[in-house]
């Protein structure tokens, strides 16, 4: 019969320390992601509202057609310029890239990609996380 060794107290303490460090790292990572995504979402909502003011109306075959303004001009800035200005004003130009602006019925849809820096993820090879975000806003009449 072979005698069993009692577990070492040092090994148990090392296990607890590693577990606590990982838990704290995961909480910091989650908090960083949450804060960055909330800021990006707020900026994207403001961008959608700004793009909703850049509407032009034209007449085609007897029907009034509303569309997002595509070019900056004397009548106002384009929807993309209005949206990007809101993103820039919030300091999100480095992390939020606008992908699409669409007018559907009376609603502006803004799609963007948000790049959030990784904290704990760097240890496993991620330098950032990419998230797809969408915001809606009513278009001005």
Query: Ramachandran region of residue 75, left (φ > 0), alpha (ψ -120 to 50) or beta?
Result: alpha
- Token readout for 50 is 């700004």
DSSP-derived secondary structure letter, 93: T
**102 neighbors 137 (Cβ within 8 angstroms):** no
- Whether 100 shows a pLDDT value over 80: the answer reads yes
Distance CA 52, CA 60 (A): 21
| pLDDT top residue among 96 and 126 | 96
* pTM of the predicted protein model: 0.80
Q: Per residue in 40-63, pLDDT tens?
A: 999 999 999 999 999 988 888 888
Q: Per residue in 67-92, pLDDT tens?
A: 999 998 888 899 999 999 999 999 99
**96 neighbors 84 (Cβ within 8 angstroms):** no
Q: Helix, strand or coil for residue 115?
A: strand
């Amino acid at each position: 019969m072979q005698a069993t060794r009692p577990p070492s107290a040092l090994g148990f303490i090392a296990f607890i320390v590693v577990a606590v460090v990982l838990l704290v790292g995961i909480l910091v990572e989650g908090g960083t992601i949450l804060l960055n995504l909330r800021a990006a979402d707020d900026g994207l909502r403001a961008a959608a509202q700004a793009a909703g003011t850049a509407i032009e109306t034209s007449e085609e075959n007897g029907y009034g057609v509303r569309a997002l303004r595509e070019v900056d001009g004397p009548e106002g800035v384009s929807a993309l310029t209005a949206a990007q200005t809101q993103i820039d004003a919030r300091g999100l130009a480095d992390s939020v890239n606008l992908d699409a602006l669409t007018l559907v019925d009376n609603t502006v849809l803004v799609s963007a990609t948000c790049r959030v820096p990784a904290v704990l993820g760097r240890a496993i090879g991620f330098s950032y996380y990419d998230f797809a975000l969408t915001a809606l806003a009513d278009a001005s009449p």
